[in-house]
Amino acid sequence: MTEQTTKALPPVVDQQTWQAALDELRIREKAATRELDAIAAQRRRLPMVELPDYTLIGPGGPVRLVDVFDGRSQLIVYHHMWSDGAEWQCGGCTGLTSQWARLGFLEPYDARFVIVTNGPIEEALAYKTKVGNKMDWYSSSESSFGADVDAPPGGEFGVNVFLRDGDKVYRTWHTTGRGTEQLSYTFALIDTLPWGRQEEWQDSPDGWPKSPTYSKWLDSPDVARLYGPNGDAVAGTGGKSS
């Protein structure tokens, strides 16, 4: 449990005043929801570009990109940042992908979600086990796939979405940076809290707790401690077992 380091609190009001303030906020929340619906509608109308017949490396060896779909028509790829030989990989990537532990809900949508990294497959699979990652991993270390879809070796993380039509694969959408937040439930939950993310850049009332950006994020060793083979996270709480 984190010790409270501030006495700053929201003002205390009566129920009617609180409800009026919530109703005022709800107008903006509903508008944002409708805007997200409109953005998704525009995304569904994006054109697409055909890709070459890339070969990746999976746990069993070389695998064509078209076969990574595993018979499905749609594929989401998270491109995990990678430094060959490093003990710990990108903390943001490691923490973000640790939350995607149950992906069966994509099956009725004819879709699959996997990780692709530019690192060697042996290192990638060892790291997956080390940090307790539950996703399926592939390597693009022996092809130009990562570089061609804006996730080159030594570059940033990103998300790409692909569509398969028979043996042809098309690229339909891409994002990086804070664009990946929409795929995460962690920030959505934290943003509902009275103190929010507590990062220096955020607009918060005077006296609210502030921390350097990223300082409260789980780093890779934290993820391994919690969710790795010897992890001490308690199911459903994210806390330590006693």
pLDDT the model gives residue 210: 93
Whether 140 contacts 120, CB under 8 Å: no
pLDDT the model gives residue 205: 93
Any long-range contacts for 56-60 (C-beta under 8 Å, 24+ apart)?
56/116, 56/138, 56/139, 56/140, 56/143, 56/145, 57/121, 57/138, 57/139, 57/140, 57/141, 57/142, 58/121, 58/136, 58/137, 58/138, 58/139, 59/121, 59/125, 59/137
Mean pLDDT of 39-45: 98
- The structure's pTM equals 0.91
Rounded CA-CA distance 48/199 in Å is: 37
Tokens encoding 21: 């303030």
pLDDT the model gives residue 5: 56
pLDDT band at 233 (very low <50, low <70, confident <90, very high): low
pLDDT the model gives residue 163: 98
pLDDT band at 230 (very low <50, low <70, confident <90, very high): confident
Rounded CA-CA distance 188/199 in Å is: 15
Question: Could you tell me the sign of the dihedral formed by the alpha carbons of 228, 211, 82, 117, in that order?
Answer: positive
Q: Which helix (H) or strand (E) holds 224?
A: helix 220-227
Rounded CA-CA distance 23/17 in Å is: 10
Rounded CA-CA distance 81/163 in Å is: 23
pLDDT the model gives residue 231: 80
Residue 225, by phi and psi: left (phi above 0), alpha (psi -120 to 50) or beta?
alpha
Backbone angles phi, psi at 92, to 5 degrees: -65, -45
Q: Residue holding tokens 């399926």?
A: 136
pLDDT the model gives residue 234: 43
Query: What are the pLDDT digits (tens) for 56-73?
Result: 999 999 999 999 999 999
Rounded CA-CA distance 104/108 in Å is: 8
The answer to whether residue 236 scores a pLDDT higher than 50 is no
Whether 169 contacts 65, CB under 8 Å: yes
Q: How remote is the C-alpha of 236 from its chain's centroid?
A: 19
Mean pLDDT of 125-153: 98
Averaged confidence pLDDT in the chain: 93
pLDDT the model gives residue 189: 95
> In one letter, which amino acid is 10?
P
Which residues 6+ apart lie within 8 Å of 154 measured at CB? 83, 118
pLDDT the model gives residue 238: 45
Domains of the chain: 49-182 (3.40.30.10)
CA Rg, the chain, in Å?
Answer: 21
pLDDT the model gives residue 241: 37
Query: What are the pLDDT digits (tens) for 23-37?
Result: 999 999 999 999 999
Q: How remote is the C-alpha of 161 from its chain's centroid?
A: 14
Query: What are the pLDDT digits (tens) for 190-218?
Result: 999 999 999 999 999 999 999 999 999 99
Query: What are the pLDDT digits (tens) for 162-182?
Result: 999 999 999 999 999 999 999
Query: What are the pLDDT digits (tens) for 90-112?
Result: 999 999 999 999 999 999 999 99
Mean pLDDT of 114-142: 98
